[in-house]
Chains A and B, each alone.
Chain A
Amino acid sequence: MYRYDEFDAAFVHERVAQFSDQVVRRVAGDMTEEEFRPHRLMNGLYLQLHAYMLRVAIPYGTLSSRQLRKLGRIARVYDKGFGHFTTRQNIQYNWPALKDIPAILGELAEVEMHAIQTSGNCIRNVTADHFAGAARDEVADPRPYAEILRQWSSIHPEFSFLPRKFKIAVTGAAHDRAAIRVHDIGLEVRRNEAGEIGFRVLVGGGQGRTPMLAREVNAFVPEKDLLAYIDAIMRVYNLYGRRDNKYKARIKILVHETGLDELKRQIEAEFEAIKDGVLTLPADEVERIEAYFAPPVFPERPAASASFEAARAADREFDRFARVNLHPHKTPGYTSLTISLKPIGGIPGDASADQMDVVADLAERYAFDEIRVSHEQNLVFPHVALDDVHAVWSVLKEHGLATANAGLVTDIIACPGLDYCALANARSIPVASRISERLGDPDRQEAIGPLSIKISGCINACGHHHVGHIGILGVDKKGVEVYQLTLGGSPDETAAIGEIVGPGFDSDQIVDAVETVVDTYLKLRSSPDETFLAAYRRVGEAPFKEALYGA
Chain B
Amino acid sequence: MPQIVTANSLIEGDVVFRTADGGWVRDIDAAGVLADKAAAEAAHAAALQDVKAAKVVDVALIDVTAEAGKVVPVKLRERIRAFGPTVKSDHRADLKPFTA
- Identify the A interface with B (CB < 8 A): 26-29, 32-33, 47, 49-52, 80-82, 95-99, 343, 346-347, 350-355, 400, 418-420, 424, 427, 429-430, 433, 479, 481
Contact = CB atoms under 8 A, between A and B. Distances in A.
A50 B90 contact: no
Contacts of B95: 80
A50 B11 contact: no
Question: Which of B12, B14, B74, B92 gathers most chain A CB within 10 Å?
Answer: B12
Interface stretch (B17-25, B32-40, B77-85): B77-85
B8 A47 contact: yes
A317 to B, nearest CB: 21
A80 B81 contact: no
B75 A51 contact: no
A418 B90 contact: no
Interface of B: 8, 10-15, 51-54, 57-58, 74-77, 80-81, 84-87, 89-92, 95, 100
Question: Which of A52, A343, A355 gathers most chain B CB within 10 Å?
Answer: A52
A50 B86 contact: no
Contacts of B92: 80-82
B8 A350 contact: no
B73 to A, nearest CB: 11
Contacts of A350: 89-91
B57 to A, nearest CB: 5
Contact of A49 (B11, B52, B77, B87): B77
B91 A26 contact: no
Which 7 A-B pairs give the minimum distances between C-beta atoms?
A29-B54, A352-B91, A51-B13, A419-B85, A52-B13, A82-B91, A97-B12
Given A28-B54, A80-B92, A419-B80, A347 B13 contact: no
A50 B100 CA distance: 16
Contact of B53 (A29, A49, A353): A29
A33 to B, nearest CB: 5
A183 B7 CA distance: 35
B90 A27 contact: no
Contact of B85 (A50, A52, A99): A50
B10 A429 contact: no
Given A51-B14, A354-B91, A419-B86, 13 more contacts: A33-B57, A49-B77, A50-B14, A50-B84, A51-B12, A82-B92, A96-B13, A97-B13, A99-B12, A352-B90, A352-B91, A419-B87, A430-B86
Nearest to B12: A97
Contacts of B51: 33
Nearest to A98: B11
22 contacts: A27-B10, A29-B54, A33-B51, A47-B13, A47-B57, A49-B80, A49-B81, A50-B13, A50-B14, A51-B12, A51-B13, A51-B14, A51-B15, A80-B92, A81-B92, A82-B91, A97-B13, A99-B11, A350-B90, A352-B90, A418-B80, A479-B74
A268 B58 CA distance: 46
A397 to B, nearest CB: 16
B90 A98 contact: no
A255 B96 CA distance: 47
A419 B92 CA distance: 16
A26 B89 contact: no
A115 to B, nearest CB: 16
A430 B87 contact: yes
A26 B76 CA distance: 31
A353 B90 CA distance: 12
B76 A27 contact: no
A82 B86 CA distance: 17
A81 B90 CA distance: 10
Question: Which of A27, A28, A49 gathers most chain B CB within 10 Å?
Answer: A49
Contact of B10 (A26, A80, A352): A26
A472 to B, nearest CB: 16
A27 B54 CA distance: 6
A81 B94 CA distance: 11
Contacts of A28: 54
A47 B9 CA distance: 11
B10 A98 contact: yes
